Structure 1
């Protein structure tokens, strides 16, 4: 993954949790310091948080909840495609 893509993910999702960084110590050292801070290899765009990116929906709460369920640092925390198909944002039902 390109450095700018890592920076974009950090901007959108926030920094990865320590348990994610601990999964691969060798790769972690490529991008993160010993304290888990981004090494600054590419600037993190601070105006790219998910809430700021969506500007077209009147009520973006359900949409952002859906997106956060699809994007998660920890793979086991991501929803499956089947689960996402039942998401209230896609089905039109309220949670």
Structure 2
């Protein structure tokens, strides 16, 4: 990805033009063993912390639904059809 360039320059919030993600966001983000170097960019909170406004009963069903949707590997992620059959939608 470091060598991948964008079709045209993009300006960031400081109006500086960048021609690639590396120029725009800095880097490097991974070491030679592919370990992520910028752990400070990852928020220190759980998924549960993001939905305090949902009532307890609905929260567990919603979080179960969202966890099946937010799976990194596409082959393990539920399809839209499978997600529509989730018990969260039974209520």
**TM class by smaller structure:** 0.5 to 0.7
Deviations 1:23-71 (A, max 9, x none): xxxxxxx64331x532118622213x21100111222111111001111
* Aligned match of 1:64: 63
Compare relative contact order (CA 8 Å, sep 6+) and give the higher one, 1 or 2: 1
- Tell me the matched-pair count: 61
Q: Give the greater-gyration-radius structure (CA).
A: 2
* Aligned match of 2:84: 85
TM-score, length basis structure 2:
0.56
Deviations 1:55-94 (A, max 9, x none): 11222111111001111111111101111111101122xx
* Unaligned ranges ≥5, structure 2: 1-27
Q: Aligned partners of 1:41, 1:54: CA distance in 2, in Å?
A: 23
Q: CA RMSD in A?
A: 2.0
TM-score, length basis structure 1:
0.54
Higher helix share: 1
